[in-house]
Structure 1
Amino acid sequence: MRTAVAEERDRRGDGRPEQSRPRDRTGRPLPHGTTGVPLTEEHEPATVEEALLLGVALWNDERLFEAHECLEHVWHAAPDADRDLWQGVIQVAVAGVHLQRDNLEGAVATFGKARRRLRRYPDVHRGIDVEQLVVFCEGAAAALEDAGAVIEVGFPEFPAMDDGPWFTPDPALLEPPGTPTPVPDGPAWRRRPRGTPTDPPEAGSR
């Protein structure tokens, strides 16, 4: 599911997709052959655990567009009980992308969406300091709205606790799984058999 950071493809005259253009670190497409600009890199983690560790490292390097792409693998593999947790974490990264793109309205709106999702969880969950993220979202959105412009809000490093972050496909498990979880082909709600009740994220929620 893609929204503000959606992938854009050039099209040939017959409508077929052209080769993807390079992107800057905020995910903006650049002309073919662009040089001298730090580019977004493609990442292909083999397991959800690898995707999570890579997403955290990219987040801490303020490569937030790439971080959100890696963390989507975690969200897609998450059980229903943790889906809003990981989507909320991703939305914080996406709000950071909006800041990097000087998009005030997008940043404020996405911080609000992230806060609403994350507040549904305990202060610490899956080795993540959820309370820290909620407080940051609230403070950043308020500061941006007061300023009426994109300002420095002190984007934090990933709020990992000593035992985390970690992923589990089983919400009852109180520690990381003993075996790696393969990266899924798509979100869990798209892989359910027909007729299974679902609760997909709202349109445009990311």
Structure 2
Amino acid sequence: MDATSRDRDSEGRARNARPRDGLGRPLPYGAPGVERQPEQVPRTPDETVREAQRLLDAGMPFHAHEVFEDAWKSGPSSERELWRGLAQLAVGLTHAARGNATGGARLLRRGASALAAFRDARPHGIAVDALLDWAGELAHRVETGEGGTVPGGRARPAEPVDAAGEAPRLRSGSR
């Protein structure tokens, strides 16, 4: 593909066709990549949670974010913040797994803020309170680093986290 042309889908919309790795990073054209999540798939809330959990458990939070994004964009307006917050948590984990501590912490906190209104409701069985705790703890850990300080007293950036090992439980007791 030359620099002047753009990837397009069947309807002519711009779509990057480059393959991606398990964390959603673009790979060179022709490289083997991870199959992308199909977009605009209608799912029930239960199907959304199950599919996103499967992807999170597989260490693919970027792909889980796409599942949440479908629910966010197609669901009832009363649940948009729920799905948007879950998508932001997944993107926060993606950034933390890529080694972007600042972006990871910021998105984990933004997602938790969006979810806070649902704390007592447990919509669709989602353990919002546990997710809020998880997001806060992981944001703190990736932001401050666990390796002490660098010269000048600044916190040493955290190493990239293991996306599968850090995957949150969307529902209590599910695995």
TM-score (norm. length: structure 1):
0.63
The alpha-carbon deviation at position 146 of structure 1 amounts to 2.5
Which residue of 35, 38, 41 corresponds with 1:41? 35
Equivalent in 136, 139, 148 of residue 138 of structure 1: 136
Which structure 1 residue ranges, 5 or more long, are not aligned?
1-9, 165-206
Size of the aligned set, in residue pairs, is 150
| AA aligned opposite 1:150 | A
CA contact (8 A) 2:95 2:101 kept: yes
Structure 2: runs of 5 or more not aligned: 9-15, 146-154
What is aligned with 1:73?
Answer: 70
Q: What are the equivalent positions in structure 2 for 1:147-158 lying under 5 Å apart?
A: 147=145, 148=155, 149-151=157-159, 152=161, 155-158=166-169
Shift of 1:145: 2.6
Q: In the aligned structure 1, how far is the partner of 2:7 from the partner of 2:41?
A: 27
Letter in 2 for 1:145: E
**Are 2:24 and 1:27 aligned?**
yes
Q: CA deviation at 1:64?
A: 0.9
What RMSD in Å do the two structures reach over aligned CA positions?
A: 2.5
* Amino acid corresponding to residue 132 of structure 1 in structure 2: A
Within-5 A mapping of 1:1-206 = 12-13=3-4, 15-17=5-7, 20-35=17-32, 39-44=33-38, 46-49=41-44, 50-123=47-120, 124-147=122-145, 148=155, 149-151=157-159, 152=161, 155-161=166-172
- How far off is 1:94 after superposition? 0.3
Q: Which gives a bigger RCO, structure 1 or 2 (Cα 8 Å, sep 6+)?
A: 1
The one-character-per-residue Cα deviations of 1:64-84 (angstroms, maximum 9, x if unpaired) are 111111221111122222111
Structure 2 counterpart of 1:168: none
Whose helix fraction is larger, Structure 1's or Structure 2's?
Answer: 2
Contact 1:75 1:83 in 2 (8 A): yes
After superposition, give the CA deviation of every residue in 1:40-74 in whole Å (9 maximum; x if it has no partner): 21233743124443222111212111111122111
161 and 144 in structure 1: CA distance in 2 versus 1, 3 angstrom threshold: closer
| Distance across 2 between alignment mates of 1:52 and 1:106 | 24
Aligned match of 2:150: none
Measured in 2, the distance between the counterparts of 1:95 and 1:64 equals 9
Flag the 1:74–1:12 CA change in 2: closer, same or farther, 3 A. same
User: 2:92 touches 2:108 (CA, 8 Å); kept in 1?
Assistant: yes
